[in-house]
Amino acid sequence: MRSKVTVVGAGFVGSTLGQRVAERDYADVVLMDVVPDMPQGKALDILEAGPVLGYDSLVIGTNGYDETANSDIVVVTSGIARKPGMSRDDLIRTNQGIVTQVVQEVAKHSPNAILICVTNPLDAMVQLAYKVSGFPKQRVLGMAGVLDTARFRTFIAQELNVSVRDVQAFVLGGHGDTMVPLARLSTVAGVPLPELIPAERLQQIVERTANGGAEIVNLLKQGSAYYAPSASVLQMIDSILLDKKMIMPCSVYLEGEYGINGLFVGVPAKLGAKGVEEVIQLKLTEDERAALQKSADAVRELIGVMGI
Ligand code: APR
C-alpha cells in the first residue's frame, strides 16, 4: 500500500510541498485547507501534472478531515503570517488557536501519524502540537534546522565557489534570531569552515543565515519563503518514509539532552520510520552551549505567552 501524506494548510508552503511529494511518486497526498474549493483546485492541478512528469501519486484536496484519515505523515503549515501592526504575541495567540484546532482533528483521524510542524513561531507551535496531540515525542517534530542549514550552505557555497553538495553545515537552536549556526563543525569537502573563510567574513555569513527568512520577506513584499521551506520538509519526509535514517537538525523534544529539559529546540536528530529515532549529542564549547541555552530561553518565553 502506498504511504499517505496529508498537508494541512494548502497555502504557499503547503501546496508547493504537495507538489514536491507527488513528484517523488512514493506517497499519495491530501491537501487540506479551510478555504472552500482552493485545496481541491490545487490538488487537481498537481494530479494533472502526473501524466506529463510520470508520477502516479493520488492527490486529493479537501476542506474536511475524513480524507486525511490514517495518514502516515501530517504536515501542519496552517496559520497566518504576521501582518503590519500585529504584535508577536497576537500572532502567537492566533496561530495557537489554529494549530490547536488542526492538531485535535489530526490526532483523531490519524492517531498513528508522524506530525511535522511548519507554522511559526516554529518551536512554540511544535510544543503546542505535542501537548494537544498526546503523541509520543518520537512522532512530533518541527522543520526549521534543515531550512536554516540550507541557507547557511547556500551562502558558504557562493562564498567559496564550490558545489553545495560539498558543504556540510549545522545550525542549532530555535528558529529565529537566536539560532546558532555552528561554523566550527561545518565543513567543505571535510575541511573545517574556519580554515577557509576569515572569521569576520564568516560572522557576516552567520548573520545573513540568521536573518534568512526576513531577507526573503523583504524581497517578496508579501508572504514569506516557500520553495526552500517545502524542499526542507520533503527531505524530512524522505528520511521517514524511506527509513533512510538521515541526521538533520530538527525541532525535537529534549529531556536533558544539551542540558535542556521539557522543551522543543533545534538539534541534530536521526529520522527514520519511527520518526525521531535518536537525538545526536554534539560536544559543544562553552560559548555554543550558552548560545543554545539563550535560544531555548527564547522558546520558553513564547511558550509562556501561550500559557501551556
Ligand atoms: N485549517 C486549515 N488551514 C488553515 C486554517 C485552519 N484552521 N487556518 C488557516 N489555514 C490555511 C490558510 O487558509 C492558508 O491557505 O493555512 C494556509 C497558510 O498558507 P499561507 O498563508 O500561504 O502561508 P505559507 O507561506 O504557506 O506559510 C505557512 O509556514 O513558514 C511558515 O511562517 C510561515 O506559519 C507560516 C506557515
Segment of 229-233, 297-301, 303-307 carrying the highest mean pLDDT: 229-233
* pLDDT at residue 101 in the model: 98
- Ligand 1 atom 36: residue of nearest CA: 119
Residue 102 pLDDT exceeds 90: yes
> Which residue is it, cell 502516479?
56
- Ligand 1 atom 35: residue of nearest CA: 119
What integer is the mean pLDDT of 82-92?
78
- Residue 79 C-alpha to ligand 1 middle, in angstroms? 4
- Ligand 1 atom 15: residue of nearest CA: 11
Question: Counting beta carbons within 10 angstroms of the beta carbon of residue 190, is it exposed (0 to 12), middle (13 to 18) or buried (19 or more)?
Answer: exposed
What integer is the mean pLDDT of 70-89?
88
| Percentage above 70 pLDDT, the chain | 100
Residue 87 pLDDT exceeds 80: no
User: What ranges do the domains of the chain cover?
Assistant: 3-142, 145-306
Q: What residues pair up with 251 in beta bridges, in sequence order?
A: 142, 266
Residue 235 pLDDT exceeds 80: yes
What integer is the mean pLDDT of 90-98?
93
Fold of 145-306: L-2-Hydroxyisocaproate Dehydrogenase; Chain A, domain 2 (3.90.110)
* pLDDT at residue 178 in the model: 80
Is ligand 1 within 6 A of the CB of residue 9?
Answer: yes
* Cα-based angle 213, 215, 217 (whole degrees, multiple of 5): 70
Q: Which atom of ligand 1 sits closest to the CA of residue 229? A: 30
Catalytic residue, from 46, 175, 235, 254: name it: 175
pLDDT in tens, 19-78: 999 999 999 999 999 999 999 999 999 999 999 999 999 999 999 999 999 999 999 999
Is ligand 1 within 6 A of the CB of residue 118?
Answer: yes
Is ligand 1 within 6 A of the CB of residue 77?
Answer: yes
Q: Which three cell numbers stand for residue 64?
A: 474536511
DSSP label at residue 261:
E
Ligand 1 pocket: which of 8, 16, 32, 33 to mutate (most atoms <8 Å of CB)?
33
Residue 254 pLDDT exceeds 80: yes
Q: Do domains 3-142 and 145-306 have the same CATH topology?
A: no
- Residue 35 C-alpha to ligand 1 middle, in angstroms? 10
* CA-wise closest residue to 213 among 139, 288, 150: 150
* pLDDT at residue 85 in the model: 74
> Which residue is it, cell 489554529?
98
Q: Which atom of ligand 1 sits closest to the CA of residue 13? A: 26
Is ligand 1 within 6 A of the CB of residue 224?
Answer: yes
Is ligand 1 within 6 A of the CB of residue 230?
Answer: no
pLDDT in tens, 193-219: 999 999 999 999 999 999 999 899 999
Q: Where are the beta strands (DSSP E) in 72-113?
A: 73-76
Residue 86 pLDDT exceeds 90: no
Q: Which atom of ligand 1 sits closest to the CA of residue 14? A: 26
Examine the residue annotation and report whether 109 is marked as an active-site residue of this protein.
no
Is ligand 1 within 6 A of the CB of residue 34?
Answer: yes
* pLDDT at residue 232 in the model: 98
CA gap 20, 228 in Å, rounded: 11
Match domain 3-142 to its CATH number in 3.40.50.720, 2.60.40.10, 3.90.1150.10, 3.30.300.130. 3.40.50.720
Q: pLDDT grade, residue 281 (50/70/90)? A: very high
Is ligand 1 within 6 A of the CB of residue 8?
Answer: yes
Is ligand 1 within 6 A of the CB of residue 15?
Answer: no
- Residue 119 C-alpha to ligand 1 middle, in angstroms? 7
- Ligand 1 atom 5: residue of nearest CA: 78
Which H or E element spans position 267?
strand 261-272
Residue 84 pLDDT exceeds 90: no
Question: Counting beta carbons within 10 angstroms of the beta carbon of residue 92, is it exposed (0 to 12), middle (13 to 18) or buried (19 or more)?
Answer: buried
